[in-house]
Structure formats: structure tokens, C-alpha cells
Structure 1
Amino acid sequence: MDHPIIAARDSVAEARALGPTIAEAAPQIEATRRIPPDLVEALHRSRLLRMLLPRSAGGDEVHPGTYLRAIEEVSRHDASVGWNIFVGNSADLIAAFLPPEIAREVFGDPRSVVAWGPPNETIAEAVPGGYRVSGRFDFASGCRLATWMGVHCRVREPDGSLRPNHLGRPAIRTLLFPVAEARLLDTWNPIGLRGTASDSYSVEDLFVPEAFSSTREDPTLRRERGRLYAFTQQGLYALGVAGVALGTAGAMLEAFMALATRKVPRGQALLADDATIQAEVARSSAKLGAARAWLLEMLEEMWREAGPDMPLPVEARARLRLGCTHAIHAAIEVADFTYKAAGVDAIFPGSPFERRFRDIHTLSQQIQSRSGHFAAAGQVMLDRAPIGFL
């Protein structure tokens, strides 16, 4: 079947055009922990929630470098909005593993958004025609925008055994269902990224047909042939976090540079005339720029090498993971410098630093930011790749 014709969109330009609207909504997002309806409508019109969705399901299937730059641009104005866009796009990737008619049913509405939380100890029961599942799941970023929800869980076969995956481990199956079949729980009240609405949700004795299920564990099972889907879901997920981090830290550095040209600490000279500040601003600019440029360079190389059948090789997956982790850590370091160097100007609500500082340090606690990713990438580089590295 031919893909529907979608007018070409410049996702980065769309993100840039939304900047003033996002910036204006930021205080309301912070206070209410929700993205206001008018901004939600603008996000749908921009198609920024469909960048990674296959064209066969009505998406834009953009270059991953374009995706990174769009997430970064949005996150300069509000990290929670950037986060919601990236997690929505990450969930879009399940469409590449679904039967085409099911993908179109889930994503056919241009306002469709899928949300879910990470796997936990929940086990779904395999039953005739599908699965039955009950349980509670947490950290479902974007669930207040969602039209469909998902759960990732192990599967118990009728004989009581756990279904194995291609590596012989207990398989994690993704089950999709309309949002009305889940109970959303208002649990998200953190210090930062408050507008992501990363709430909890529960389902009770829910039946999910087999056709509305898939797995993210074996990237060779993809149905979509486009280059984008040679990238693993885990790699593109890490790329989204890196985009949020780079955008947030970049905005803080820009705000600090503006502050430095007008602030005179008590008994001292203008901050911009301080040699230490000058050097640290330059180092920070180089740190962010180098991390971003390296990511964009490797994405372009991988895009050229990506084929229609097999996923990117493990070596490329490890390099992307390394680049994303490096970018996230570089962004956190730059954010810390700007916050400290801004002095008391950084500590008050409404400053260009205070909310972003809380946002990026909430991001720093997310699994994509952990230092262990350096070790995992190093294992691959030293020919000691962990089994099943994604």
C-alpha cells in the first residue's frame, strides 16, 4: 500500500516558531503541571509529536539529526514541553513493529499520542486471542495528552511458564489500548520537569488483543523499511533526552552571557570583564557545541549506512549511546556553571536559571543520564559487548 502523501514540514522551523508561545506558557506549565490546551493544539498543528512516526501511519519520519535539533529548540523555552515531545515520538516508534492496519488504527488520528511507563514486575496472562493484565505503572510522561496507553510486561503462558525472548530471557511485551481503559493517577509533583505529567496509571483485568501488542526487544522484527527504523528505539530515546539537556543548558548559558554584560558583583568589576568568567563561558560554549556537533556528525554517518532490513550494528548503537550520554553530562556541567556563576540572580522563581536548574537536575536522575552507560559503551569498544546491547 502506498504511503499517504504528507506535505514536507521543517520540524526545526516549526519548533522555532513555537518558541515565544512556549516561553509565555512556561509559568502556567510550572504552576499547573500541565501543558495548556491552546499550546497542545499548537503542538498538534506543528506535527512535532509525529516526527518519528512512520509515513505509512501518517507521520513525518524525519532524519534523526532534524529530530535532535527540534527537541533542542523547544527545550530552550521549556524542558517539560521538550520532554513530552520526545517521549511522544519515542512511543511513535512502536508503529514500526505493528501490523500496518493496526498502526493506522492507533495513529490515524492526527492528534493521536501514545504514553506508557517503564516495565515493572507486572505479568500479563496469555489468553485466547491476546492478553489479560492488571497492575499499576509509574512515570507515564505525556499521559495527559494521550489517546492511547501502553504497558510493558512479562507474559505468563497457560502452562505457567514465562514466555522467553530471542535471548532466552523473560520477554517484555508491549500492549496497547485506548486511554479510557486506564485509570490515570495524579502522582507527579517533583522539583523539576513538572509539566511532563509523568503520572502513574492502573489497569484492572484488561484484555488486549494480540494484534495490539508487539515487542521492542528485538530490532530485527521491524516492519518498516525506512532508514530511521534501523536506529533502535533505545538509541532514539537517549537522543531525545540529549536534545532536552542541550536545549536547557544552552538557554542557561545564553541567559548567563546576557547577565554577565550588566552585572557587577559587590566590590568587583563587571562579570563580563572577569578573566575566569570569560574562560568558563568559552569552555562551556565549546563543551556544548562539541557534544552537539559530534552527535549530529555520527547521526549523519549512521543515516547513510542504515539499510532497509537489519538494525544498525552494535558498534554504532554503542557510539550513539556514548554520544548521547556525553552530551547529557556536558549539558549538566554547563548548567551547574551558569547557575553558580549567576549568584543570587539564579535563585529566585521567574529567573532564567531557577526553573531550568531544577529541570535539568530532574533529568539528571533519569536512567538515560546514568554514568553506567559509559561503561556499557566501553565494553562494546573493547570487544566485550553485553549480550542484547541495544
Structure 2
Amino acid sequence: MDDGTIGGAGDPWREAELAGFLLPEQQARLHAHGWLTMLAPRAAGGAELPLPEVVRLEEEIAATDGSLGWVVTLCAGAGWFAGFLPPALARGIMATPGVCLAGSGAPTGFADIDGDDVVITGRWDYASGAPMATHFTLNAVLRERGEVLRDEQGKPRIRAFIVPARHVALEASWQAIGLRASASHAYRLDGARIPASHGFTIDAAHATADGPLYRFPFMALAYVTLAANLLGMARHFLALAGPLVAARRQHGSGVPLGEVPAVAARLALAREELAEHCTALYEVLDRAWDAVVRHTLADEAGLQRVSLQLVDTCRRTVDSLYPYCGLQAAREDAEINRVWRDFHTATQHALLLPD
């Protein structure tokens, strides 16, 4: 990792938030580190790093800045799909200057089969990193001659596709309170014709790249990478909260809040619980990765469970300490306020709903 000042002197993350996107120098640093291609196959030009290494790195990036971590995680995750594309297509995409894959998982469009092509029409929300994307991934309902194709259970058939950014129209729809620099805008395709070979299936049985990374279960990968982002942001919040709590004084007594036994105990408990659940996450992840390397099954249920437990702990940590941080934490231009807003925006991801 860097020293936390990727954008230069001052507070580049505040500047990125005000701009509503990662600044050009921040984007350049992402590409220089190769973070956006770290899950793509080596044979296609990616780094194909072991997943435990990637998840730990994503935690550290998110601890630097929430929007940065979110863009890296979501765009690197889309780059993982290169392991399920035809190899020649994957190599061509990864060779694109400044390659960045963004996208959305909701099947909110249609792909009409027309010979060897598909014609895609629809609108998709929440493509983090959209302004810097060279390609977009999407899920679409398959149709042929205007009729929705259905599987054996009668459900619409859904297929994933990757399309070059030239086919995409962005909509400036991202108005969230946090993760503002993630620029998670909507995008639209209006009858874009692409080769049917740009479709792919996200399943180990359909992987086109060798290696354990493409045998790892997709949903388990999604849970653990998102949880790592929340952990990084919660760590950042806790690091900023400590000095603010220490600087405040208890009303009436004038005793520093950090010396009030109940407050000191709350801070200590927050640190202990965060460390405990962080350790649990990585222990289960490391075992799951080792299992996949050995060609056995990963503990998907266990990874989902520890990921959601960690997210719940992060929520309690942030929310229990926020009231002790004073009005400084309520200032929109304060770093801790940005971290608080980023964190709570990230917790709204559909996979992270509490039980």
C-alpha cells in the first residue's frame, strides 16, 4: 500500500468526493498498481493473485478511502469474469489501455438473439467506477423472435455479457450520501449489437482459465470481498474516532471522555470485537482457499456466515462510537464524517442485509 496520499498533498479524497469521481492521478495510480486486473487470468494479462491476498489488500485499500476500495473491489471483481470468457476475447479486453471493467448484476435488460449476435437493450443501476470503465458487464434476459426463453423450471433464461464502453450511455444517477467518488452511475444500452461470444456463464464448470481462482464460488467471493471493504472502513473510522473521543470532556465533571470507565470500556470492546471477527474471517477464507487449491469444496456457508457476522460487528462498532465523537463527526467536510457516510452507504449493498 501507499502512504494514504495517493492523490498528492492535502486531502485528495475530499477533492475526489467533491468531484464525484476518482481524480485522474488516483486512477493512474490504480492502473500502475495493477489493482483492477489482479483477479484476471495471467494468460489474459492479469495478475491472477491468490484470493486471500486480494481480500487483505482490498481491506487495506478501503481503510485508505471507501470510494477507492469500493471501485477497486467491484471493478477487480468484474475483471475476474475474464476467467470465464473465450481466451482470445479475454486477452483482447485485458490488452485495452487503461482497462477497467464495471457493471451490474441485476437482469434489467434483454438480449435478443439474432444469428451469431445478440442485440442488447436495457438500463442497469450502480456501476461503480463507471466513468473510467472501458467495458461493462451485465445480466440480461434472453429472447428469440420477441419471446423470452425459459429454462426447465419455466424461469426466464439469464445470461451475462461483456460490452465495450462505446455501446454504453451513462446516466448521472449516483446521488448517495457516501461513496460519492465511486461514481456508481446507471448505464443504458439501446439496441447494441455484439457477438454472442461476448456472453459467459459464471460457474466453475464453465471457466476458461485454469487455476483455483476460477474454481472459487462466486457468491462466496462476493461476500468476503464486500465484508473486507466494510472492515477497512470501520478500521478507518475507529482510528479517527479515538483521538476525537480523547479530546472531548464529559459534561459536568470535565473528565476526558476517554478516561470515563464506560467509554474506555466501549472503545476497548470495539477494538477487541473487530479484531476477533477479522481473524475469524481470514481463518475461514484461508481454509476455503486451501480447499479449492486441493480441488475440494470451499465452505461457502461458512464464508457467508463469518462475512455477515463481521459486517454486523462493523456496524455496531461504528454506530456505538459515533455519538462520542462530537460535532466534528457531523461536519460534512470532516474526514471522519466522510468515512461514516461511506461506511453506511456500503452497508446498503443487497448482500449485506442483516438477518
Answer yes or no: is the 8 Å Cα contact 1:225–1:308 preserved in 2. no
Using the alignment, how far apart are the partners of 1:18 and 1:129 within structure 2?
49
Q: Distance in 2 between matches of 1:287 and 1:351?
A: 26
The equivalent residue for 1:132 is 119
Change (3 A) 1:349 1:121: closer
Matched with 1:361 is 344
Query: Do structure 1's residue 183 and structure 2's residue 169 form an aligned pair?
Result: yes
Give distance in 1, aligned partners of 2:194 and 2:105.
18
The structure 2 residue matched to 1:221, chosen from 201, 206, 210, is 206
1:298 matches 2:298: no
Change (3 A) 1:53 1:110: farther
Find the residue that maps to 2:14 and give its secondary structure.
helix
Say which SS state the counterpart of residue 52 (structure 1) adopts. Answer: coil
1:190 & 1:113 partners in 2: Cα distance? 22
Q: CA shift at 1:163, angstroms?
A: 4.2
In the TM superposition, residue 206 of structure 1 has moved relative to its aligned partner by 0.9
Deviations, residues 87-136 of structure 1 (Å, cap 9, x unaligned): 01110121111111111011123621111123234221111002111111
Q: Which among 250, 272, 277 is matched to residue 286 of structure 1?
A: 272
CA-to-aligned-CA distance 1:112-166 (integer Å, 9 cap, x gap): 111112323422111100211111111111111100112211101348341428x
Identity of aligned residues (%): 27
1:245 aligned onto 2:230: yes
Does the 8 Å contact 2:112/2:146 carry over to 1?
A: no
CA distance in 2, matches of 1:251, 1:46: 22
Q: Of the candidates 92, 95, 111, which is equivalent to residue 79 of structure 2?
A: 92
Quote the Cα distance in structure 2 between the aligned partners of 1:283 and 1:208: 54
Determine the structure 2 residue equivalent to 1:328: 311
Alignment of 1:1-390 (within 5 A): 16-17=1-2, 19-21=4-6, 24-109=11-96, 111-158=98-145, 160-164=147-151, 169-216=155-202, 218-267=203-252, 268-307=254-293, 312-313=297-298, 316-372=299-355
Shift of 1:198: 0.8
Distance 2:321 2:41 in 1: 39
Q: Distance in 2 between matches of 1:99 and 1:308?
A: 25
> Aligned partners of 1:43, 1:84: CA distance in 2, in Å?
10
**TM score, norm. by length of structure 1:** 0.85
Contact preservation (8 Å) 1:61, 1:228: yes
Aligned equivalents of 2:295 and 2:147: distance in 1?
A: 35
Deviations 1:35-75 (A, max 9, x none): 10011001110111122111111111122222122111111
Is the alpha carbon distance of 1:308 and 1:59 closer, same or farther for their aligned partners in structure 2, counting shifts above 3 Å? farther
Say if 1:252 and 1:352, in contact at 8 Å, map to a contact too: no
- Alpha-carbon distance between aligned partners in 2 of 1:308 and 1:228, rounded to the nearest angstrom: 12
On the 8 A contact 1:227/1:306 being kept in 2, the answer is: yes
Runs of 4+ deviating beyond 6 Å: none
| Matches of 1:249 and 1:352, distance apart in 2 | 13
Q: In the superposition, relative to structure 1, how do residues 51 and 168 fare at CA in structure 2: closer, same or farther (>3 Å)? A: farther
Distance 1:106 1:318 in 2: 33
8 Å CA contact 1:115–1:141 kept in 2: the answer is yes
Q: CA deviation at 1:293?
A: 0.9
Give the deviation of 1:309 after TM superposition.
6.4
What are the superposed Cα offsets for residues 215-261 of structure 1, whole Å, 9 maximum, x if unpaired? 22x33211222112221222222222112111111111111222233
The gaps in structure 2 that reach 5 residues or longer are none
- Cα offset for 1:18? 5.2
Whether the 8 Å contact between 1:57 and 1:104 is mirrored in structure 2 is: yes
Preserved contact between residue 193 and residue 358 of structure 1 (Cα < 8 Å)? yes
Distance of 1:33 and 1:256 partners within structure 2? 25
User: Any conservation in 1 of the 2:78–2:137 contact (CA below 8 Å)?
Assistant: no
Give unpaired runs (5+ residues) of structure 1. 1-15, 373-390
CA contact (8 A) 2:148 2:156 kept: no
In 2, Cα distance between the equivalents of 1:334 and 1:90? 27
Give the partner amino acid of 2:93: V
Match of 1:35, SS state, is coil
Is the 8 Å Cα contact of residues 141 and 198 (structure 1) preserved in structure 2?
yes
Matched residue, 1:5: none
Q: How many residues align?
A: 352
